[in-house]
């Protein structure tokens, strides 16, 4: 950002703690002025069968992915309303189609999608832009740090990251969609296909998704 002539400020916070977010928003506004764009990008994943999953892991994923989004949006909303700005939620294809061994992650993304759909309708006459982004598989650290059944880190990705869309490509798509004030953004051919097929042939897609997940390295189905 600074290389492009802008200014960058970093504020540390805990997205699972509403008071931490409130304080961070106050600090950010004191340093740079009112917030006009919020990107809810904090997230954590998990990989384990629900029957084996510690419920604290489920709670941690929901606290980070869903409640973190709710808290940040709540405390940034007054300034964004005044600026007629943008609220962006980084959801997932899992917000449209659940996958096995990702029950908590899927639930958090469905919750995000529903929250933003409702909020968008509330603010649609107030000039506020709400964009929900559903990236497909993206090369990032999220699978390396995904939580296992007992809450420990998975440690490595079970998928070939080299075949995925890069984080930089995803960011470029998000920037373009934000500038055009789009409503939804679904990324990757595979992701768009999954959303389409789940709408029209969900039963068949159940079997396809199961087979794909079972092929993963160290799959919990094996």
CB contact at 8 A, 46 and 102: yes
pLDDT at res. 53? 96
Residue 28 scores a pLDDT above 90: yes
pLDDT tens-digit readout, 97-142 = 999 999 999 999 999 999 999 999 999 999 999 999 999 777 666 6
Cβ(116)–Cβ(90) below 8 Å: no
For the chain, give percent helix, strand, coil, nearest 5.
Answer: 50, 10, 35
* Alpha-carbon gap, residue 113 to 98, rounded angstroms: 13
pLDDT digits (tens, 9 = 90+) for 44-84: 999 999 999 999 999 999 999 999 999 999 999 999 999 99
Out of 71, 96, 105, 110, the active site residue is 105
pLDDT of residue 89: 97
pLDDT bracket for residue 151 (50, 70, 90):
confident
- Residue 94's pLDDT is what? 94
Q: Which two tokens stand for residue 196?
A: 């389409």
Active site residue 105: yes
The helix (H) or strand (E) run that includes residue 138 is strand 138-139
102 membership: H or E segment, kind and range: none
CB 157 within 8 A of CB 216: no
Asked whether residue 143 carries a pLDDT value surpassing 80, the answer given is no
Q: Does the pLDDT at position 154 exceed 70?
A: no
Contact between 133 and 91 (Cβ < 8 Å): yes
């Amino acid at each position: 950002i600074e290389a492009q002539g802008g200014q960058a400020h970093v504020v540390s916070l805990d997205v699972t703690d509403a008071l931490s977010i409130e304080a961070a928003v106050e600090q950010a506004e004191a340093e740079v002025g009112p917030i006009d764009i919020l990107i809810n990008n904090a997230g954590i994943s998990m990989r384990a069968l629900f029957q084996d999953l510690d419920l604290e892991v489920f709670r941690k994923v929901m606290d980070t992915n869903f409640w973190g989004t709710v808290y940040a949006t709540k405390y940034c909303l007054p300034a964004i309303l005044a600026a007629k700005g943008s609220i962006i939620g980084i959801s997932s294809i899992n917000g449209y189609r659940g996958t096995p061994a990702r029950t908590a992650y899927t639930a958090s993304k469905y919750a995000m999608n529903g929250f933003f759909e409702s909020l968008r309708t509330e603010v649609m006459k107030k000039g506020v832009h709400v964009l929900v982004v559903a990236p497909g598989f993206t090369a990032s650290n999220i699978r390396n740090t995904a939580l296992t059944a007992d809450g420990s880190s998975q440690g490595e990705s079970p998928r070939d990251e080299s075949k995925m869309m890069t984080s930089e490509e995803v960011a470029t798509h998000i920037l373009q969609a934000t500038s055009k004030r789009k409503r939804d953004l679904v990324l990757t051919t595979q992701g768009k296909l999954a959303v389409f097929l789940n709408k029209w042939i969900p039963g068949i897609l159940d079997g396809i998704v199961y087979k794909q997940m079972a092929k993963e390295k160290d799959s919990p189905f094996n």
